[in-house]
Chains A and B, each alone.
Chain A
């Protein structure tokens, strides 16, 4: 192989990019060619200078934060405000309240049921229709206690949801 043909191999050699077969060819040639040994040294120094440049790249995380910040400033409607997520939070509060009621009912072994003899209701409809009466029973008919418990649950979920939204909004 001529020195000219070897040059391409040497550039890849410096980058650690040779196959086993190519490595043998290169070693055989380098053993007898001073000029190519010098070439390999130059390629090795170029390689090392190029590899070290990756460290000059600025942080992608910081760049992303700056770009999102700028977009929020320049285009206020670009991204959906976290307030738009309020229906999700309200939905979650309602769903979890129903779940809590069901779990409590199961634990107390007295699931909510509509008064017997209510005609034309499915089992599920009977369950939901019985919730108000059941709650009144569980809390001893104290309406303020019912509001306090469900209010505390709702406030808890809203606060938790807002914290989650704020965490995402910062990213």
Chain B
């Protein structure tokens, strides 16, 4: 396992060096390899918005422009994670978020007007996003990396630079919060 990780790091460094030497193909390979990671982080911070893909592209452009400053001290995935996280947070603060989300204290869905709308909403793919929306940023990123990015617990721990136990806790807390919210919504629907 450690040998495999070492080979992975060496391969990444080789791709970084080739990219710096002007090889577009090597940078293209880096983009393909880390696209799921960057996209998951941006989704974790921004939620399901139209600009997610644009922000992910901006992040890769920034990664390219800063590639020379990557010294190989941290793993490339961790370095990319830090850039992506900062950029996504900046993008959110620039775009003046005006999204209507679940009211965490009451569990009411603020946009819904009647039971039919609620039912329709519950079966749309946005419903999961609404359950996820009020989660803490770190929990969201962990969940997105696990499910959107299809990363293992060990990979998430490396990327986020936290112990594997903390990753498991983040993911459990996120699911527990989703379950709680879902139960509240279901009991509200039942009471109507």
List chain A positions with a Cβ less than 8 A from chain B. 7-8, 11-12, 39, 42-43, 45-47, 49-51, 53-54, 56-58, 60-61, 63-68, 70-72, 74, 78-80, 168-169, 171
Contacts and interface: CB of A to CB of B under 8 A. Distances in A.
Contacts of B78: none
Contacts of B21: 80
A41 to B, nearest CB: 10
Interface of B: 21-25, 27-29, 31-33, 35-36, 39-40, 53, 56-57, 60-61, 64, 125, 127-128, 131, 143, 146-150, 172, 175-176, 178-179, 182-183
A51 B53 CA distance: 20
B31 A63 contact: yes
A67 B25 contact: no
A125 to B, nearest CB: 36
Contact of A7 (B22, B28, B147, B176): B176
Q: What 3 A-B pairs come out closest when comparing CB atoms?
A: A80-B22, A60-B35, A79-B24
A50 B23 CA distance: 37
A78 B25 contact: no
Contacts of A45: 182
Contact of B28 (A43, A46, A68): A68
B176 A11 contact: yes
Contact of A46 (B32, B57, B179): B179
A165 to B, nearest CB: 11
Contact of A56 (B28, B64, B148, B178): B148
A65 B40 CA distance: 19
B84 to A, nearest CB: 13
Contacts of A53: 125, 128, 147-148
A67 B55 CA distance: 12
Contacts of A56: 125, 148
A78 B143 contact: no
A60 B32 contact: yes
Contacts of A80: 21-24
Contacts of A47: 175
B135 to A, nearest CB: 12
Contacts of B150: 54
A79 B23 contact: yes
B39 A50 contact: no
B176 A169 contact: no
B175 A43 contact: yes
18 contacts: A8-B172, A12-B172, A42-B183, A43-B179, A46-B178, A50-B147, A56-B148, A60-B35, A63-B32, A68-B27, A70-B57, A71-B27, A74-B61, A79-B23, A80-B24, A168-B25, A171-B24, A171-B25
Contacts of B28: 64-65, 67-68, 171
Contact of B24 (A42, A54, A60, A169): A169
B147 A46 contact: no
A23 to B, nearest CB: 17
Given A46-B131, A50-B143, 7 more contacts: A11-B175, A43-B179, A49-B127, A57-B40, A63-B53, A64-B35, A68-B31
